[in-house]
Amino acid sequence: MSLHKYESSVKTIPYTREMVFSKLSDLSNLQNVKQKLDNPELVAKLKEQADGDQVEKMIPVLKSLTSDTDSVSVSVPPVGNLTLRVVEREEKCIKYALENVPINANLWIQLLPIDANSCKMKVTIGADLNLIMRGMLGGKLEKGAEGIANMLSRMPYTEF
């Protein structure tokens, strides 16, 4: 098996790289997001900004999350508990390892400044897959990278 990479398109985020980095590199910030899911106005706003059906599906998953500075765990039926752990923090890139999954997988988020008020981002998912698994999962991982990038590019970073 070898590592295969699945990359999102480059997204523009209307916040500074420093702000985005500080939120995404400290996973304890996700507790704030979890608490805000009880606010119907915020949920309605999220549904407007993103696919409403996807938001509806993600709410139970997000409500199950537990996190600290270095890791976040969520319950994903029927898979079970998945953990994402920060393994490297650099100014321009945050690398995470996926734990409790049957394959070796990681995710990294690259951040580059555009100007004083915005940055650009790309999400990459890396997974050790054999030929059969690549055929079964490759498209889903590519869509996953793009979906994560879309979600991260729309987040209100000043609100959590």
What is the spatial distance between Cα 52 and Cα 113, in angstroms, rounded to a whole number? 30
CB atoms within 10 A of CB 18: 12
Average pLDDT value for the chain: 88
Asked if pLDDT for residue 52 goes beyond 80, the answer is no
Q: What is the CATH number that goes with domain 2-159? A: 3.30.530.20
- Please state the pTM of the whole predicted model: 0.83
61 pLDDT tier (thresholds 50, 70, 90): confident
pLDDT (average), residues 103-122: 96
Task: Judge if the upstream peptide bond of residue 102 is cis by omega within 30 degrees of 0.
Answer: no
Q: Which DSSP string corresponds to the chain?
A: -EEEEEEPPPEEESS-HHHHHHHHH-GGGHHHHHHHTT-HHHHHHHHHHS-HHHHHHHHHHHHT-EE-SSEEEEEETTTEEEEEEEEEEETTEEEEEEESSSS-EEEEEEEEEEETTEEEEEEEEEEEE-HHHHHHHHHHHHHHHHHHHHHHHH--GGG-
pLDDT (average), residues 61-70: 87
The per-residue pLDDT for 80 is 80
The per-residue pLDDT for 35 is 80
Q: Where are the domains of the chain?
A: 2-159
1 pLDDT tier (thresholds 50, 70, 90): low
142 pLDDT tier (thresholds 50, 70, 90): very high
Is the model more confident about 54 or about 144? 144
Asked if pLDDT for residue 13 goes beyond 90, the answer is yes
Asked if pLDDT for residue 12 goes beyond 90, the answer is yes
